[in-house]
Amino acid sequence: MSRRVMVVGIGKRVVEVARPAFDRAADQFSITDVRARTAREDVEGRPDIRALDALTAEEFAAIDLVYIAVGKPAVPAVLASLARFDRSAIDLLVETPVLVFKQFRHARLLRGWRNVWVAEDCRWLPWIDPVLAAVGPAHEVEFSHSAWKYHGLAMLKSVLGDSRVKSARSTGTGERRRRELVFAGGGRGVVLEPRDYATGSLTVTGEGGRVTDDPALAEEDGTVLLAPVIRDGLVTGFTAGRVTTTLDADEIALQTTHPIDATVTRRMEDLKRIGFLRLLRSIADGTGGYPLAQGVDDMLVDYLLDKFGRVGSLSTSLVKRVTGLPRA
């Protein structure tokens, strides 16, 4: 039996990423209720959009998972509205960055749910597996105009296999900034801003060598090219040296067409939809989504880098104690 899902929010993220992924996971999830600030009719045979304030306890009790995707300022109000009900048997999946720094006084509203996860699809991007298979454990990652703030940090954690930032610093001015991060296990990450998928690239160095999706860089020093495998204009898998991975039919169907020579980074928006589908599958198989404490840690590192340009040793357990967040 599929899990019954309530979606709160009707914006671009829901329409372009979440709904297509939920549709491709129809055996595990079924959107049965859609809520927004005001009621309106939906299209394409989907449930009508109803006002969140009109939600009843009986309607809420019929839900297994709530997915919240609203503007940052509206998150506390949405959580407060749902706090009227017993949430102990219901899971929560909430969009990044969950709460911004100035909203931490509302962190108590994240208590009472069966599970709370963050909708960080960057954790499940499908190019990560072939890269790690090609280079072995990674120890250095560079995202050149291919990552953005806390999403980039989640990507670094996933590629490096390390969830704790030891230190970080940000240099540069305006949009052109360089973020350097050192992780507890010794891995290092560099993020060059601003993000521009059309021109950006990614490079990962590990025990087995170096991989990049930049064709020019791949011609140097034996660096291996990470390339998409294309069929009928869509990515069906990836190659990195001797490594080849494949996508399944549902993952392929979540894509749009790009020029044949488009790099992995240029296709990142499509790959995020695949990442969201894999996130849903992780929830369905009992592994769970992106941990709440990690999502908050990503936001906090991002906030401190923007405000002070430097971050010392951080502990997610300290974050939980300060904010009152539930344990991940």
What tens digit of pLDDT does each residue of 127-178 get? 999 999 999 899 999 999 999 999 999 999 999 999 999 999 999 998 899 9
Record the pTM.
Answer: 0.94
State how beta strands 243-246 and 234-240 pair.
Answer: antiparallel
Helix ranges, 136-267 (H): 149-160, 249-253
Q: Identify whether 304 is part of a domain.
A: no
187 and 81 co-located in one domain: no
What does the pLDDT read at residue 316? 45
User: Is the pLDDT assigned to residue 328 strictly greater than 50?
Assistant: no
Model confidence over 225-273: pLDDT tens digits?
A: 999 999 999 999 999 999 999 999 999 999 999 999 999 999 999 999 9
- Residue pair 86/61 in contact by the 8 Å Cβ criterion: yes
Q: What is the rounded average pLDDT of the residues 48-70? A: 97
Total domain count, the chain: 2
> Do the beta carbons of residue 79 and residue 66 sit within 8 Å?
no
The answer to whether residue 104 sits within a structural domain is no
Task: Indicate if 169 and 270 belong to the same structural domain.
Answer: yes
- Domain assignment present for 115: no
Q: 20 preceded by cis ω (within 30°)?
A: no
- Rounded to whole angstroms, how far apart are CA atoms 137 and 140? 10
Residues 142 and 220 in one domain: yes
Question: DSSP characters for 77-103?
Answer: HHHHHHTTS--TT-EEEE-TTSS-GGG
- Checking if the pLDDT of 86 tops 80, the result is yes
Percent of the chain with pLDDT over 90: 84
Tokens coding 109 = 């509203």
Taking the alpha carbons at both ends of the chain, their separation in whole angstroms is: 26
3-state secondary structure of 199: coil
Q: Domain limits at 270?
A: 123-284
Tell me, yes or no, whether 90 and 131 share the same domain: no
> Can you give the pLDDT at residue 17?
97
Is the predicted pLDDT of residue 40 greater than 90, yes or no?
A: no
- The token duo for 187 is 């891995």
Beta strands 209-212 and 201-206 are antiparallel
Nearest to 169 by CA among 191, 152, 151: 191
